[in-house]
Amino acid sequence: MFRALQVIVRGERRALPGSGFVSRFSTASNSQRLAGKVAVITGAASGIGKATAAEFVRNGAKVIVADVQDDLGHVVASELGAEASYARCDVTDEAQVAAAVDLAVTRHGHLDVIVNNAGVVGSLAQRPLGSLDLADFDAVMAINTRGVLAGVKHAARVMVPRRSGSIICMASVAGVLGSMTPHPYSVSKSAVIGMVRAVAGELARSGVRVNAISPNYIPTPLVMRIMAEWYPGTSADEHRRIVERDINEMAGLTLEPEDIARAALYLASDEAKYVNGHNLVVDGGYTVGKVPNLPAPPQ
């Protein structure tokens, strides 16, 4: 028997007057779903990382804004207030990743969440495989894959002894579908998804969860740079239209950085306490709804 009568209001469980039931899954903007938690977010000076930092602070977390864009990073941390601070962190340098993690522990006593978000696309030249620039490949892998692994490693170093923590790795639909981006980027994001699967079981035995998020294209500064190089004869407004309308499966809706931030918020929160080794694809059905590029049938 239910101890309290409940109603469903816009996806939130609420009690009827006098029932005494209060939902802990409130979607209110001030729900404080990360109250008391400490997070490091790499690549947090712009785009998805910036939106995630804002969402985490809004929900009660203390955040280390980690990036190599010093001016932007300081501005973001200042805008977020006393609960945020900036740390320079080049994820290709393992020592800097370790230092960002140690800063969180030194300043706040512990680390609950890391979002390994820093990434680059590399050369946008659509070269055939036989002309692949392996130096460009190495540079992309150093940030998008090795840099993520460094974040996983050093977050685990401080989370495992506490037997608690959430590690979130930013992948991409380019790691789910081939031929969407130049090969180095696609391979690097596929490797992130594989990395999550490789380590999730080991860390689960210590109470630490590891998950990935795979967004579709969003008009972040990085994606808009891609559009400008691929479509040099068209305007920025047209580039945004391509991203928001043409690369989109959800009629009437636009994927925004805040949508990915809320996905990260869920994975970081205790609501996802049993979600581990998962790749959360946030693409409106793009990777399952595309028509295969097959030859036209004979007439």
Under 8 Å between Cβ of 34 and 113: yes
DSSP 22: B
Report the distance separating Cα 184 and Cα 138, nearest Å.
8
CA–CA gap between residue 221 and residue 227 (Å, rounded): 10
The CA–CA distances, whole Å, from 159 to 77, 92, 114, 193, 285 equal 24, 22, 10, 21, 34
H or E stretch at 189: helix 183-204
Pairing verdict, β 165-170 and 279-282: unpaired
- Among residues 86, 185, 217, 286, the one annotated as catalytic is 185
List the beta bridge partners of residue 167: 114, 210
Per DSSP, helices labelled H in 9-146 are 47-58, 70-80, 94-108, 134-141
Helices (H) and strands (E) in the chain, counts: 10, 9
Helix or strand or coil: residue 259?
helix
**Are the beta carbons of 41 and 66 closer than 8 angstroms?**
yes
Sign of CA dihedral 158, 162, 163, 169: negative
Amino acid making up residue 228: A
* Catalytic residue list contains 217: no
Contact in structure between 212 and 272 (CB atoms under 8 Å) = no
- Catalytically active residues are 185
